[in-house]
Structure 1
């Protein structure tokens, strides 16, 4: 059964208690803040929402990321930044006895988190590790990958911080953690038993538990919302874990991707940017003739194509997504020629 977009009559910040925000493309791009992001987060917090920041990056210390966010004028505690190193170390701690030796392949941040989780980071297979955590950092040498392979071959349980195949760098696209993980898999024939990064949902689950560890009650999933700019990481992780989600258009996702999204990649809500935390979201509705409406916007079939009444309207995109998903799930094959060419400004206010 097709799951369509939801609406909220008040605002996301009032409908949900905990926001699990992605960072790159949502809050910042490189060193620069995404327009409206800091102001929208601050307003959501004033409305009672708790914010946690989630990232697949395993090499940056929490305090470094928090300092960057504080530089945008946000009030952020270090613990609110949840990196894949934090999650990976906690995942391993759930699986092996306290004080166990863990071969730690990655940046100093990963080693710090392994120690914080009550485990002992080691760097050589001859030290007898019972588990391996493989992360990423730019200067990672072949010798460290070899140590990971040796330990896995000897039976150490294998975890990774994330499986992103690529990572954007200043000069272009470079191999990410997942590419280096694949090298160890190719050498050993062994798959990791756990990945801390999105699209796995462990990051969201651990974020909720870490929030509870700071003296708060555990926020139920139905009161938590995952927010990101990538359908294949942020939104898929939410769907895998049973979380509602909101995609923003300030990063990777665009209207065409949304209309063509497979069920596992479909968000619960769509916003231009993080100002969507603090505004109502009209709920798309289907009329008896098959037309979808959202607020004043409409999406309908016209000669086999989807037509909307305003290609600059976010509500029209919401209606068009529901119609496209309905047709795709009924067995129709849709491509870009069948869909409207939206021109939505991602940095305009909601």
Structure 2
């Protein structure tokens, strides 16, 4: 797959110093909320890191389950925050949903859209007829996040879904981070329809592999590193697509969450913030027989079934991930209550 001319293929670099050299990634995919920005502000380190990636000709793109805004609007917001962006670098769950439906449902089909104007526009651009009521005999329902969604919107979705039409959801995130804390996300409203009708939707956003694959294709990446703050969407999506992943500690989930997560939600590494991309990935040394591992100045050991850590939290976290990967999958362990949660402990 060729890299777009706007982001040329990276020139050869020293394998001991190149970002991604240790994990083999050729591009970077980033979640937005909690990773690149938090509400109206850029996350500390994000502008520096992404600017540097652009200067090094390392392709990157943004992947968001939030279907309330279009790619152009999101890109404009990123630029306002000082972040390098263009609309074609932004992949939204709404965009992927519209593309997926276009591949399976005949053009001109009637689609009941329960969501934002951005989602409605994408469905219209995909060649469908947008309708507003179950009484309009829709061929399918697509549901995405919108702050102004009403009981009547949800009710129309319930009637149509109960009648048996195809049901698509852009994502199932129960919560979304805001400047006021965690608030209900699209998944909370999808759950209402599911509980009311007894049916489950087809989901196109993370953790669906399709979402990550679409984003990678848009930036010309074949071995991307996915960076996110949610294990059940960002990291699980990367694993589903077969991509390397990193949990960044600027959002929802923390070190203890990562180590306690099931294997399918466990990241390959933990980073404090995006500036970690500008340095080589940390090297982990494991001794499974002694149940010990080290990374940088951090170390972990499995002591009587309890995982204990010493040294800098992020180094210890990566040592722990390495040790867990080396131990049998059915190894039972508990985390020392003093095991750190964040980069500052």
TM-score range, shorter chain: 0.7 to 0.9
* Equivalent-residue separation in structure 2 for 1:66 and 1:342 (angstroms): 32
Question: So what's the TM-score if we normalise by structure 2?
Answer: 0.86
**Size of the alignment, in residue pairs?**
328
Aligned to 1:10: 17
Which stretches of structure 1, 4 residues or longer, exceed 6 Å deviation after superposition?
Answer: none
Specify the SS of the correspondent of 2:96.
Answer: helix
Aligned to 2:331: 331
Which segment is superposed worse, 284-293 or 259-268?
284-293
* Equivalent-residue separation in structure 2 for 1:129 and 1:187 (angstroms): 19
Which segment is superposed worse, 32-41 or 319-328?
319-328
1:198 paired residue among 170, 194, 206:
206
Distance 1:330 1:144, change over 3 A: closer
Cα displacement string for residues 53-92 of structure 1 (whole angstroms, at most 9, x for unaligned residues): 1111111222221112112323311121222211111121
Aligned to 1:93: 102
Deviation at 1:245, TM superposition (A): 0.7
* Equivalent-residue separation in structure 2 for 1:195 and 1:233 (angstroms): 12
Aligned to 1:252: 252
Deviation at 1:132, TM superposition (A): 0.9
Distance 1:232 1:336, change over 3 A: farther
Q: Give the 5 Å matches for 1:121-140.
A: 121-140=130-149
Distance 1:290 1:179, change over 3 A: closer
Aligned to 1:146: 155
Which segment is superposed worse, 28-37 or 61-70?
61-70
Is the 1:196–1:203 Cα contact (8 Å) retained in structure 2? yes
* Equivalent-residue separation in structure 1 for 2:135 and 2:258 (angstroms): 49
Question: So what's the TM-score if we normalise by structure 1?
Answer: 0.85
2:74 paired residue among 43, 65, 82:
65
* Equivalent-residue separation in structure 2 for 1:88 and 1:225 (angstroms): 23
Instruction: Give unpaired runs (5+ residues) of structure 1.
Output: 1-7, 212-217
Instruction: Give unpaired runs (5+ residues) of structure 2.
Output: 1-14
* Equivalent-residue separation in structure 2 for 1:269 and 1:256 (angstroms): 13
Deviation at 1:13, TM superposition (A): 5.0
* Equivalent-residue separation in structure 2 for 1:98 and 1:181 (angstroms): 25
Deviation at 1:164, TM superposition (A): 1.6
Deviation at 1:280, TM superposition (A): 0.6
Aligned to 1:291: 292
Is the 1:89–1:114 Cα contact (8 Å) retained in structure 2? yes
Deviation at 1:146, TM superposition (A): 2.0
Cα displacement string for residues 287-332 of structure 1 (whole angstroms, at most 9, x for unaligned residues): 353321223433223455434341x253222113333565683432
Q: Give the 5 Å matches for 1:176-187.
A: 176-187=185-196
Aligned to 1:214: none
Q: Give the 5 Å matches for 1:155-304.
A: 155-169=164-178, 173-192=182-201, 194-211=202-219, 218-220=220-222, 223-287=223-287, 289-302=290-303, 304=305
